[in-house]
Amino acid sequence: MSATAAARPRPAIGRWWSALGPTGGALVALIVLVAANSIFTPNFATAGNFWNVLLQLSVTLLVSVGMTFVIATGGVDLAVGSVMAISAAVAAVTVDQGLWIAIPLALAAGMAVGLLNGAFVSYFKVQAIVVTLATLLAGRGMAQVINRDGALLTIEDPGFLALGRGHVGPLPVQVLIAAVVVALAVFLLRSTPFGRYVLAAGGNPAAARLAGVPVNRTVVSVYVLSGLLAGMAGLIEASRLGASAAAKIGQGAELDAIAAVVVGGTLLSGGRATLLGTVVGALIMQVIATSFNMLLIPYSWSLAFKALIILVAVYLQRPRRV
C-alpha cells in the first residue's frame, strides 16, 4: 500500500476487470448473478419475483443514494438507520393531524439530524465516523422516546399506507419514488455545480477551497440530503409494516447502504462517485438475498456471501499506485 513499494503484478482477470471500470465490473457481476439464478433458482425469472426484488430494493436504494453523496465527500453516515426510525416515529405521532403535516415533519426531522451531523463534521471538524456513531446511538433512543416511550404505534391512515403498499398502475408507489429519486440524484451529481463540488470536496478539500468551492456548505448539504432520504425510507418502511416499530426499522440499514455503494464502485475515500454503480450494487445485494431465500439457503450463508462480494469488489476496484 505504500507509495514506495514497487507495483505488484496484477492478475490478468484484474486487468480486464479494471478496464471495464468499477461499475462495468459490477454490472457484469449482476448479469452473471441474474443469469445463474434464472437457470438454477425455480421461479426466479418471473414477473412476480421481478417486482418482489424491486419492492425490497426501494428502501435500501433510497438510503444508498444518500450514502453515495456522503461517501463521495470522504465521510460516512452511520446514523441512517436511526433516522429512519425517527422519521417513522414522528409520522406515527403526528399522522392524526393529517398527512400534509405528518410527512413534512417527519422528513424535516430527518433533515435536522443530517444538519447536526454535517455541522459537526464540517465546522467542528470531528470525524464523520464518530459523529454519526453518536447520532446513531442517540437517534435510536430518541426514536423510541418519540414513539411514546417504546410503544409500538400502529398507523392506519390509508394515504400513509399507500406509500408502502399502494400502486400506480403496475408500479408500486415505493418503486416509483425510488426511481424518481435516483433520476433526480443522477441529475444533481452530473449536471449541477453542486455535484462537482461534492466530488471536489471529497477529492481534495484544500484544493477545492482555494478554487472557491464552498466546501463546508457542500459537506453539510450531503448530510442533510442523506437525512432526508433516510427519512423517506423510514416512512416507506413504516407504511409497509403499518406501524412505527422503532426497534426494527432501519436496523442494519447503514450496512446495506455502505455495501451497495462500495460494491458499485464509489470510492470509500471520496472524490469519485457513481450512482449507477450504487443501483447496481444494491441490486446485487438484493438479488443475493432473494435468491438465497428462494433456494432455502439459510440466511447466515447469504451473509457470508455478501461479505465475500464486498471484499472482492473492493479488491478489484482499488486504485493503482504508480
Partner 1 sequence: MEHQGQIGGSGPALAVPPGAAGTPPTHGAGGGVPVPRAPAFRSKAASMLQRQGAVVALIIVCIFGAIRYEPFATPENLLNVLRQNSMLGLVALGMTMVILTGGIDLSVGSVLAVAGITTAWLSPQGTAVALLGGLAAGAVLGALNGVLITRAGIQPFIVTLAMMIAARGAALGATDENSVHVDRAAKGIMWLGRGKVVGIPVPVLLAALAFLAGWVVLRYTRFGRYVYAAGDHQDAARLLGLKVDRVLIATYAISGALAGLAGIVLAGRLGAGQPVAGNGWELDAIAAVVVGGTLLSGGQGGVGATVVGVLLLGIIFNLFNLEGTITPWWQGVLRGIFLLGVVVVQSRLQRRAAKAA
Partner 2 sequence: MSTPDPILRMEGITKRFAGATALDGVDFELRRGEVHALVGENGAGKSTLIKIMTGAYRRDGGQVWLEGEPVDFRTPADAQAAGVIAVHQEIHLLAYRTVAENVYLGREPRRWGLVDWGRMNTDTGALLQRLGLAIDPAATLGALSTAQQQMVAIARGVSLGAKVLVLDEPTSSLAEREVAILYTLIRQLQAEGTAIVYISHRFDELYTVCDRVTVLRDGKLVGTRHLRELERLDLVCLMLGKPREALREGTTGFGGHQAEAEGTAPLLRAEGLRRGQKLRGVSLDVRKGEILGVAGLLGSGRTETARAIFGADPAQEGTIQLDGKRLDPRTPDDAIAAGIAFVSEDRKGEGIIPELSVRENLTLAALPTLTRAGIVDRARQREIVDRFMSRLGIKATSADQKIRELSGGNQQKVLLARWLCMNPALLILDEPTRGIDIGAKAEIQSLINELAGTGLGVLMISSELEELVEGSSRVVVLRDGQNVAELRGDAISQQSIIHAMAEGSAAAAPATLEA
User: Contact residues for partner 2 (CB under 8 A)?
Assistant: 4, 6, 191-193, 196-197, 199-200, 203-204, 206-214, 267, 271-272, 322
Burial class (CB in 10 A: 0-12, 13-18, 19+), 184: exposed
Which option in partner 2, partner 1, none does residue 129 bind, with CB closer than 5 to 8 A by kind? partner 1
The yes or no reply on residue 101 touching partner 1 (CB under 8 A) is no
| Rounded-to-integer distance, Cα 150 and Cα 145, Å | 6
- Out of 18, 49, 52, 204, the residue judged to bind partner 1 by CB under 8 A: 204
Residue 168's φ and ψ, nearest 5 degrees, are -115, 100
The yes or no reply on residue 32 touching partner 1 (CB under 8 A) is no
Nearest distance from C-beta of residue 158 to partner 1, angstroms: 28
* CB under 8 A, 24+ apart: contacts of 157-161: 157/95, 157/99, 157/102, 159/99, 160/91, 160/95, 160/99, 160/102, 160/103, 160/235, 160/238, 160/239, 161/239, 161/242
Which option in partner 2, partner 1, none does residue 26 bind, with CB closer than 5 to 8 A by kind? none
Which option in partner 1, partner 2, none does residue 192 bind, with CB closer than 5 to 8 A by kind? partner 2
Residue 191's φ and ψ, nearest 5 degrees, are -110, 0
Extract the C-alpha cell encoding 277.
454503480
The yes or no reply on residue 124 touching partner 1 (CB under 8 A) is yes
C-beta neighbour count of 322 within 10 angstroms: 4
Would you say 177 or 238 has its CB closer to partner 1? Answer: 238
Nearest distance from C-beta of residue 103 to partner 2, angstroms: 25
Q: Which 143-162 positions form the footprint of partner 1 (CB under 8 A)?
A: 143-145, 149-150
Would you say 4 or 43 has its CB closer to partner 1? Answer: 4
